[in-house]
Amino acid sequence: MTDRPILIAGRNGQLARCLLDLGAMRGLPVVALGRRELDLEDREGIDKLIASVAPAAIINTAAYTAVDQAESEAAKAFSINRDGAAALADVAWQMNIPLIHLSTDYVFDGAKPDAYDESDIPAPLNVYGASKLAGEAAVLAAHPLATVIRSSWIYSPYGSNFVRTMLRLCESQPIVRVVRDQHGNPTCAFDLAEAVLRIAERSVTDDRRATAGIFHLAGGGETNWYDFAQAIFDARSRRGERIPALEAITTEEFPTAARRPRNSRLDSSKAERVFGIRLAPWRHSLEACLDQLAGEGETNAEGNRAGWRQRNAPLSDHARRQQAVAPDL
């Protein structure tokens, strides 16, 4: 690596925060810019800001991720996920630096019975997925040597995600109802961040043609949302903590504005072949994440566990005592 920083587009998301943590642990020069500094809808501002940072590489974790809200805000979703991503890619290409762009399993419709590999034809079911798919194409058109990474079901001690939601519901609900007919690969954001940094370092030092293109990178193993919740509850129970009853429901029993794929499992074997990277099994990483969230120190005045900066994200206010969950990731 050079002395120039790695620029992370996005600052408050799970992956961005994990990248910052790992960059600090490794002593890597990492700069993360949030929307206030780096507005992906402001093309002129993007050019000037990135030129002032003069990064060695760009990792784009910034995105419009409100899956259901995107159904009524398609223009904004495409403006950020397609046009903003393309603007970053264009600047990186003009500066002759690597770009790593994060995408999603939601580019697929879930009709395939097996895990999706990079040769499968995407067919998103919702606006969010369509905007991210358009972003992939726009990024690769602007920066032919960019690396596009699709991941899935991301969780961490930070932000709003399925694991943190389940833990909050354990404190407040007697019954939690979770969909059982949607399948995928839970991915720990710390594992993904570690892999992304390794790819970034290789992109800076090696022939970028070897790292160009689309790669799937998700946690090892597969599950459904209900069994994922059961694993969280089981781990909590082993720690002697309260758990509510868990009830399986179907996708039809929890309608949402945006349709979700029934199968969004990702085959990550290409990334293993090319980069020598394979993410840990999701059950192993889940235990580590739960240990981190449980904390081994006192909470501070803001309610944060020692060693973690993010407060628990609030849940939607539900009048009923039975909570149903269909996650947005």
Residue in the block written with tokens 């120039």: 4
- 320: Cβ contacts below 8 Å, ≥ 6 apart: none
Containing 20, the helix (H) or strand (E) segment is helix 14-26
Q: Say how far apart CA 175 and CA 166 lie, in whole Å.
A: 11
Length of the chain: 329
128 a catalytic residue: yes
Tokens encoding 16: 């961005």
Contact 251, 326 (CB under 8 A): yes
Which of 128, 155, 158, 226 does the annotation list as catalytic?
A: 128
Containing 191, the helix (H) or strand (E) segment is helix 189-205
φ, ψ of residue 70 to 5 degrees: the values are -60, -25
Contact 129, 103 (CB under 8 A): no
Give the residue numbers marked as catalytic. 128
